A and B are shown apart, each in its own frame.
Chain A
Amino acid sequence: SAVISQKPSRDICQRGTSLTIQCQVDSQVTMMFWYRQQPGQSLTLIATANQGSEATYESGFVIDKFPISRPNLTFSTLTVSNMSPEDSSIYLCSFTTGGAGELFFGEGSRLTVL
Chain B
Amino acid sequence: AQSVTQLGSHVSVSEGALVLLRCNYSSSVPPYLFWYVQYPNQGLQLLLKYTTGATLVKGINGFEAEFKKSETSFHLTKPSAHMSDAAEYFCAVTPSGTYKYIFGTGTRLKVLA
Contact A31-B99, Cβ < 8 Å, known A42-B106, A100-B51, A101-B94: yes
Whether a CB of chain A sits under 8 angstroms from the CB of B2 is: no
Chain B, 81-113, contact with A by CB distance < 8 Å: what is the 0/1 string?
000000000101010001111011110000000
Q: Tally the A-B contacts, defined by beta carbons under 8 Å.
A: 53
> Would you call A106 and B104 a contact (CB within 8 A)?
no
Chain A residues lying within 8 Å of B99, measured Cβ to Cβ, are 31, 33, 48, 96, 101
Which of A31, A48, A103, A107 has a CB less than 8 Å from the CB of B46?
A: A103
Chain A residues lying within 8 Å of B41, measured Cβ to Cβ, are 107-108, 110
Give chain A nearest CB distance to B74 CB in angstroms. Answer: 14
> Would you call B103 and A42 a contact (CB within 8 A)?
yes
Chain B, 23-61, contact with A by CB distance < 8 Å: what is the 0/1 string?
000000000101010000111111001010000000000
A residues in contact (CB < 8 Å) with B:
4, 31, 33, 41-45, 48, 92, 94, 96, 100-108, 110
Query: Contacts A101-B94, A101-B98, A103-B36 given; 19 further ones with Cβ under 8 A?
Result: A31-B99, A33-B99, A42-B105, A42-B106, A43-B90, A43-B103, A45-B100, A92-B43, A94-B43, A96-B99, A100-B32, A101-B99, A103-B44, A103-B46, A105-B36, A105-B44, A108-B41, A108-B42, A110-B41
